[in-house]
Amino acid sequence: MDSSADAYKSYAPGSQDLVNRLVEEHRGWAASIARSVARAWNLDWELDGLDGGANEALLFCARRYDPAMGVPFRAYARRRIHESSTEEARKSKSWQRGVGANTQEEQDAREISARLFDVFPELRTGELPLTDGGGGDDTVRSSVRQLLASATMIAALQELTGGGPEAAVDYKRMVQLVAELEPVHQSIIWGIYYQGMSMRSIATDWGIDELNVIREHQLILQYVFTRISDPKRQVQKLKVRPGLRTVAQTLKKKKEPPPFSRFAVEEIAGVIALLALTIGVRII
């Protein structure tokens, strides 16, 4: 099935024919996102209402999708469907019974853990994330560092709404750090941590082997972990691996700025500073 914008350019935006076609062709795909969220949260995707959230988001996006923008429908709708399914998971009785009277910090930790299962599906089978180590303790330590860096990324980039000024500061620092990366690296972080994409989906969109994205993601997390754990340390700029150089060159040739461009950083930082000032906190 072709979900590119060209496949729908003959339809008027918002027309019933376009909405019906988009919903019909992408219902199964939306359900797969809901099932993925349900597995991560240890819920039943139908009994706990995640299917309803996914379908509502699919219909919402179908009604507002404009093929003239040139954006594939899946890229346009993926994040909203994932967020809607996640919101239904949070509201489900099964999850509420699970968290019980836990503190907000414990609930946040559970949600970060659930997102880690999305980023690293191998965790569901008891395996640690892939590393290029030679085995033994070094491989385990490298895998743990990946998990720590990924959890930090999730906490900073996705949990801002639930935190106060400290979360705003962490968010600002993380976005500034990621904005220094190559466009292809920024795109990987954006896809995984903002759009809820799997590394396989990113690889498919780029027409490359999934292992290339997995290894590049591993290097990004190692870089982030080093920068966060030792801010004063001089770290060499992260280079693009050979398997992604073609994609990197293509992204650089495009006119649009990368997801975490300097312009976006300044804009976000300004919003965060304004938010902090409204509650009487000064961001340094």
Q: In this predicted model, what pLDDT tens digit does every residue of 11-42 receive, in sequence order?
A: 999 999 999 999 999 999 998 888 887 877 77
Shared domain for 245 and 117, answered yes or no, is yes
The whole-number pLDDT of residue 216 equals 92
From the centroid of its chain, how far is CA 212? 18
Q: Which of 50, 69, 96 is the last residue of a domain?
A: 96
Return the minimum-mean-pLDDT range out of 140-154, 157-171, 172-186, 191-205: 157-171
User: Is residue 283 very low, low, confident or very high in pLDDT (cuts 50, 70, 90)?
Assistant: very low
**Alpha carbons 114 and 98: distance in angstroms, whole number:** 13
Structure-block tokens of residue 179: 């904005």
Opening angle at CA 117, ends 112 and 119, nearest 5 = 90
Shared domain for 89 and 128, answered yes or no, is no
Is the pLDDT higher at 31 or at 49?
31
| Domain boundaries, position 254 | 103-278
In contact, 152 and 108? CB cutoff 8 Å: no
In contact, 84 and 56? CB cutoff 8 Å: yes
Distances (CA, A) of 173 to 27, 106, 269, 271: 38, 24, 9, 14
Q: Which of 45, 77, 96 is the last residue of a domain?
A: 96
119 CB-near residues (< 8 Å, 6+ apart): 150, 154, 192, 193
Shared domain for 114 and 227, answered yes or no, is yes
**What is the tally of structural domains in the chain?**
2
Distances (CA, A) of 250 to 61, 117, 134, 229, 246: 28, 30, 33, 33, 6
171 CB-near residues (< 8 Å, 6+ apart): 156, 157, 160, 268, 272
Shared domain for 159 and 254, answered yes or no, is yes
Q: Which of 96, 112, 145 is the last residue of a domain?
A: 96
Is the pLDDT higher at 120 or at 61?
61
The whole-number pLDDT of residue 253 equals 85
Shared domain for 88 and 111, answered yes or no, is no
User: Is residue 280 very low, low, confident or very high in pLDDT (cuts 50, 70, 90)?
Assistant: low
User: Widest CA span of the chain, in angstroms?
Assistant: 58
Domain assignment present for residue 283? The answer is no
The whole-number pLDDT of residue 101 equals 45
User: Is residue 97 very low, low, confident or very high in pLDDT (cuts 50, 70, 90)?
Assistant: low
Shared domain for 85 and 112, answered yes or no, is no
Shared domain for 52 and 71, answered yes or no, is yes
Shared domain for 90 and 108, answered yes or no, is no
Measure the N-to-C terminal CA separation of the chain; round to a whole number of Å.
Answer: 50
The whole-number pLDDT of residue 58 equals 93
Structure-block tokens of residue 243: 């398997």
In contact, 39 and 69? CB cutoff 8 Å: no
User: Is residue 89 very low, low, confident or very high in pLDDT (cuts 50, 70, 90)?
Assistant: confident
149-161 per-position pLDDT tens digit: 888 877 776 554 5
Q: Is the pLDDT of residue 70 over 90?
A: no
142 CB-near residues (< 8 Å, 6+ apart): 131, 132, 133, 222
Range 157-173 average pLDDT: 60
Domain assignment present for residue 284? The answer is no
Return the minimum-mean-pLDDT range out of 10-14, 67-71, 238-242: 67-71
